[in-house]
Structure 1
Amino acid sequence: MHVCLSLPRTRVDRSSRLVMGPVPCVSLNTGAQMPLLGLGTYKLVGAQTVLQAVDAALAAGYRSFDTAAVYRNEADVGRALKELMPKYGLSREDVFITSKLGPKDQGAGAMAAALHSLSELDLDWIDLYLIHWPGTQGLEVSDHRNPENRPVSWSALEQLQIQGKLKAIGVSNYTPHHLRALLRDCTVVPALLQVEFHPRLPQVQLRSLCAEEGVVFQAYSSLGRGELCSDPVVLQVSEACERTPAQVLLRWAVQQDIGVLPKSSCPERIRTNASIFDFSLSS
């Protein structure tokens, strides 16, 4: 049984280290194009660490970068991109930047928090801004203030989108219950849902709901927090394809048109994680 099919390899200009083939994109309900591959920046701490990771990512062809208020690195990500984009001949319009509302700012603090993210990133607009969690920091899950705060946050994001400060808005870590409630009451349909997704967590119900409502589904923790890289089936496919387990797992998602956000501070791993568009897994 064939488990891997080779596609034409991406051409690389060794002198510039710039990948010469664009990363495939998915269309948001705003009409914006979002690259299927983005660099996750969770746990990337320190200006030099962030700069090195962003440099490696831009060289490898990444054009999407995912941060959040709770990562405490928005300012470093913004500075790194501003410094490095000219090196690769890129303008602001060439990169797609995502950030997220922290749980402590859910509700009345949402607008100020989103504007603070804009300031930290030193941007005129954020391409995609998400409510990071459905809950509010310090409240029990069952607290009645959680379902009261969520629509307040969403209304603030809708206003900022109208003002052009947020080009698209969405949610992260929402369950089907949370997403249905939002869809019932919102004026602006969320552009995207970002959740944990991998072969052990296929999120069938959420994916079906997103497909019905025109909400793009995006994955984080595609490697199962690293555990799936030693899974026997993944290792078998990896050996057959002559690819790393991480490449196989990332390919499994993007081949289903699901965006991925692999995170790493290692330049070589950042590069290999991007090499997922020149082969195909069999059904």
Structure 2
Amino acid sequence: MGEQMNFKFLSGAVMPMVGFGTWNVTGASVTPTIDLALAAGYRLFDTATMYGNESELGEAFKVLLPKHNLERKDIFITTKLYPDDHGEKATKAIKKSLKNLDCEYIDLYLIHWPGVYGVSPKSPENARLRDISWQKMVEAVKKGLVKNIGVSNYNVKHLKQLLQNDHGVKPVVNQVERHPHCRQKEILELCNQDEICLQAYMPLGGGGNKDLLENAKVKKIANKLGKTTAQVLLRWNLQQNVSVIPKSCSKEHIFSNFDLNFILPEEDMEVLNTFPQTKYDWDPDTIA
């Protein structure tokens, strides 16, 4: 069983450093998968309007929390604003997520993407609408609908822009693609400087892409330490104070991905920090 590590926000709220990603976890697989995750020790669950599974997760928690002797306050739920719901629509989107998840509050609500669907990536309208989205999220915090707010896929420019005008509530998380092939050094430094938690999605590399999991150098480190390559990759992020949200539907992986209570020696960290850089997922640099 892994040991749960936490990140303390400036607000005083606490978020588990290791969470469970639910992208592509839908339909009949939701309840058994969440059951395994709770049994393994995960208490942070990451979803998004875009994933289309909020209602199924809400139903699963209603059944599973009592089974595991847990209450709503014992878990941390993150969901995200659909890129089509920027601007004035954000308030309605938050309320819809609350209804889908069937709970009274959301622990963390993120702007999923700095761009707005249907708006040209280069248009200044993106910045104007995401600013309105943030204002609506600040209002939701004041009403108690949302406990904490943050962003996802924000680059240095987007994050600096928000920090200059945060309407009184600072983002607590920036969730980005991050793994040894995509280290995002500048955004990590900015988040550390402003005490924002950088959270890694796709921490094992691209969805369906096994480049990192099957990399000879990662395998060598894993074999030496008696760990899986996934554990090595997850620990690499954690040792830089970066939160991780791995996803899996396999019992073996769900448990081993949470069992991260070991240290990667400095020389192994250095090896992982020399990998060539490539992005597998969407690129926020295209958004004005």
CA contact 2:201–2:244 (8 Å) conserved in 1: yes
Paired residue for 2:194?
A: 213
Distance in 2 (CA, whole Å) between partners of 1:89 and 1:22 is 19
Task: Note the C-alpha offset of 1:212.
Answer: 1.4
Q: Which runs of 4+ in 1 moved over 3 A?
A: none
Paired residue for 1:189?
A: 170
Distance in 2 (CA, whole Å) between partners of 1:68 and 1:30 is 23
Task: Note the C-alpha offset of 1:255.
Answer: 2.0
Distance in 2 (CA, whole Å) between partners of 1:49 and 1:199 is 30
2:265 equivalent to 1:282: yes
Task: Note the C-alpha offset of 1:272.
Answer: 1.4
Task: Note the C-alpha offset of 1:142.
Answer: 0.4
Paired residue for 2:203?
A: 222
Paired residue for 1:40?
A: 21
Task: Note the C-alpha offset of 1:22.
Answer: 4.6
Post-superposition Cα deviations, 1:73-124, rounded to whole Å, max 9, x if no partner, equal: 0011111111101111111110000000000101121110011001100010
Q: Which has the higher contact order (CA 8 A, sep 6+)?
A: 1
Query: Which residue identity is paired with 1:130?
Result: L
| Structure 2 counterpart SS, 1:195 | strand
Distance in 2 (CA, whole Å) between partners of 1:29 and 1:98 is 18
Paired residue for 1:15?
A: none
| Structure 2 counterpart SS, 1:233 | helix
Match of 1:100 among 67, 76, 80: 80
CA contact 1:198–1:221 (8 Å) conserved in 2: yes
Distance in 2 (CA, whole Å) between partners of 1:255 and 1:204 is 14
CA contact 1:52–1:267 (8 Å) conserved in 2: no
Is the deviation greater in 185-194 or in 224-233? 224-233
Distance in 2 (CA, whole Å) between partners of 1:227 and 1:94 is 36
Alignment of 1:12-51 (within 5 A): 22-46=3-27, 48-51=28-31
Paired residue for 1:235?
A: 219
Cα-Cα RMSD: 1.1
Distance in 2 (CA, whole Å) between partners of 1:153 and 1:29 is 21
Query: Which residue identity is paired with 2:129?
Result: N
Paired residue for 2:157?
A: 177
Report the TM-score when normalising by structure 1. 0.90
| Structure 1 counterpart SS, 2:98 | helix
Task: Note the C-alpha offset of 1:237.
Answer: 0.4
Paired residue for 2:104?
A: 124
Distance in 2 (CA, whole Å) between partners of 1:254 and 1:229 is 17
CA contact 2:90–2:136 (8 Å) conserved in 1: yes
Structure 1: state its 5+ residue gaps: 1-9, 11-20
2:251 equivalent to 1:262: no
| Structure 1 counterpart SS, 2:106 | coil
CA contact 1:50–1:265 (8 Å) conserved in 2: no
Match of 1:273 among 250, 253, 257: 257
CA contact 2:237–2:243 (8 Å) conserved in 1: yes
Is the deviation greater in 157-166 or in 227-236? 227-236
CA contact 2:108–2:147 (8 Å) conserved in 1: yes
Query: Which residue identity is paired with 1:223?
Result: L
2:137 equivalent to 1:153: no
Paired residue for 2:124?
A: 144
CA contact 1:65–1:98 (8 Å) conserved in 2: yes
Paired residue for 1:18?
A: none
Paired residue for 2:71?
A: 91
